[in-house]
Amino acid sequence: MITVVKEFTFDAAHYLPNYDGPCSNLHGHTYKLQVGIKGEIDESGMVMDFKKLKEMVQSYVNALDHSYLNELEGREFGAFPAKMPTAEKMVEWFVRHVSSDLAYADTSLRLDFIRLYETPTSYAEWRES
């Protein structure tokens, strides 16, 4: 099995309510999202075309880009963790949507991981295992 990875970036603002620290204030990040898809190499010589992977994920990234994350509740793609938009909860949100879209598009492929950098040195990650 091979894992192919596509990387995305987006900018967004948020604050963490009931958090005792500087993140309780409104602030922004340039997030970096990495999505890994695992599968066998097919007759095209690929696991998944990077263009198709980008098309699958880009709409979710676009929904967050230049947004105020605490105000996304009830908007498109539903169930966004607007009340507490931590990197961990955002990763869960991406996993739910990307794995669902992937299962619909191709049952032979699996979501291997989602990694979301909140800063250049800090990230939250979900792995299939």
What token pair was written down for 93? 């949100």
92 among known catalytic residues: no
**C-beta of residue 91 within 8 angstroms of C-beta of residue 103:** no
Active-site position among 23, 29, 88, 92: 23
The DSSP element (H or E) to which 9 belongs, if any, is strand 2-14
Residue among 10, 39, 5, 37 at smallest CA distance from 117: 10
66 among known catalytic residues: yes
DSSP for 20-53, please give it: SSGGGS-EEEEEEEEEEEEE---TTS-SS-HHHH
Active-site position among 27, 66, 76, 128: 66
Strand partners, 35: 6, 114
23 among known catalytic residues: yes
Which of the residues are catalytic?
A: 23, 66, 118
